[in-house]
Structure 1
Amino acid sequence: MSQTITVKIKLLPTKEQALVLTKMCKTYISTINDLVSEMVEEKKNTKKSSKHIDVALPSAVKNQAIKDAKSVFKKAKKSNYKVVPALKKPICIWNNQNYSFDFTHISMPLMVDGKARKTAIHALLVDKDNRILDLLKHKLGTLRITKKSGKWIAQISVTIPIVQGTGVKVMGVDLGLKVPAVAVTDDEKVRFFGNGRQNKFKKRKFRSDRKALGKKKKLNAIRSSKDKEQRWMKDQDHKVSRAIVNFAKNNKISVIRLEQLANIRQTTRTSRKNEKNLHTWSFYRLSQFIKYKANLVGIKVEYVNPAYTSQTCPKCSDKNKTQDRKYKCKCGFRIHRDILGAMNIRYVPVVDGNSQSA
């Protein structure tokens, strides 16, 4: 059993290297689009090889472009040529036999003075916990280089073997807005993760800033603000998921149970003032971060149907609606509403885990 993740690495190319990468990325995309147009016109796969493509790219990169073009053509063919995708975002891809790395550089063939030459580009491969280099010890896939928000990023596909533990300790995790996540172990240890008030404030501040920029018609600044907000949200999800997995690991948890996300936007209770936050926060991404980080340390992730998990009393099984964040049952049982959800998630029936995006 294994899972494939994408490792992102910041590149620091020289001015000359950046110019070469920019040109290669544009050429790579235009090559794919030209090949797709030809295949659509002929309504069949291309038989071209790298020697038939006269563009300024290394032969290995040309072969990857042909492979990607065939993949795009397959999608067009599936729609009976009603939808023919045209790639726009400049990227360049090398297969796993055409790049290498050490502690400070990633090397791959670049077009220099009309010839393909293996070139070392400075890269931030060493982080605080050596996490990047540890991940790159596993089976590597393609190297994709692109530019995002003015910064060069290398994305390497990594396939990691999953070795799951044999224990039986279970932890339930309830996701929400006011409290991003609550975890309860099967021996009743409880922990809250994230700061819902801070998240709400930050998102409101981003929206307010964009509204002011909109009045000044600063469209580029608005786009930049949206990118910054997305990066901030993603960073919050990384921090929360890492803390949850560390908590599970420290408590020798074997299984983390999460709510199935198919209907979370319908089942999550929220006020009108929280509605914008509900529909812009990615519960699915947080769930996926928890899953892949848990798998890396041998913890299994299962999904359960969250229906009534925040209403059912764990003592007498009676169903009661909550008052604000407090839950009170007729039998006398009282607890925080989100803790109740996490408690019940531990033991409700497990579903297949094929949850929808949220």
Structure 2
Amino acid sequence: MSHTPRHASVYLVHLPDEDAAREVARILAERGHVSVSVREGVAGQPFHRFHEASWKVTGVDAGPHPDDDERWWTAVETRIVETLAAERGGSCVLMQAVPDTVRALFPGETAVDRPPAEARAARLAALSGEPACAPRPVVVHRLDHPASDGPSGVPVALPGLDDVDWPSLGHAYGPAEDAPDILRAMAANDEGWDEATFEYFSAIVHQETCYSATPPTIPFLVRMARAPEMTPEYRLELLADLAYIASFDPSPSAGEEPAPTAHAARACREVIGALPALLARWPEAAPAERAWLIVLAALSPAAAAPLLPAFEGFRRGLEGPSPALDLALALAADDEDRACGLVLDYTTWDEDVSRHLADDTPLRCRHLAVLTRLALAEIPPRG
């Protein structure tokens, strides 16, 4: 049964010339976009990008979809439109809004305006050849999280913190002279943890962006994660945070020393360098912590090798599906064929996996980004 989405999707496609723009507009109209317009870009025009000679196609997809999984079908159409744009040297931006808002933002832009019934039929026909979302594996394992009676309040020492020239480094808001205070607040290991980690991910790592101050903070996060006095729940969050940061640009795991300005790659290199010390916690780690150690080990097959049999034994002891750990083990074993097969299967039930695969990065980097996404969903640090 077809479903009309609550929000319309507006695709702003920027292309280098008029011929490409008119071809894309024709295809979007054929795909059932209810409104399609073409215009030459003008510098300063709302939603305009690139140089003055570029052309803009606006396509409005108001549905319907074959079923009510709006996220899935929006992701399907976005992938198709992005491919159309990329093949012609352009790019695409997606906006979503209720239909009244769309009409207010793009009044009178219509170059192709199809009758509603005709557009609906074309929309369903265009999507009929695309597979529906497969059932997501049901994760039934329940990994025990390390338990405590709350923050211990015993601070973790951070020797060398004041030896770093923090004012010469930068973060999201300018010079990183406040970085030591943020790290000390995290290392205080008390009720201020949430506020301190919020500050860290607001300034030092901001919206998946690293800065020159980010790599020097990694050894201190590692020290906190390894410290016996660290509150167990906070330790688990630190391991997840390290995996998250390392997933931004894990290319140095197999390449040369990253450039000084490649802040994400250098942060990842710091995490990889710390893996032997982090993995040394395996014998004493609680199940959820062990799972995150396996995810981190996927960054470096060389570091994972000594513990790979233990990792595999841990996975065999878990009941039911574990997409994150299965992919982590394939990457830790450097089994690219296995990793490719798993990730392709995941594209059938997770709409964002295909987006990660489309990134212009080495295949292993894309797989590690998928892994982090899956792990955060399957093994949430707060249980």
- Interval of TM-score (by shorter of Structure 1 and Structure 2): under 0.3
TM-score by length of 2: 0.26
TM-score by length of 1: 0.27
Question: Higher helix share goes to which structure?
Answer: 2
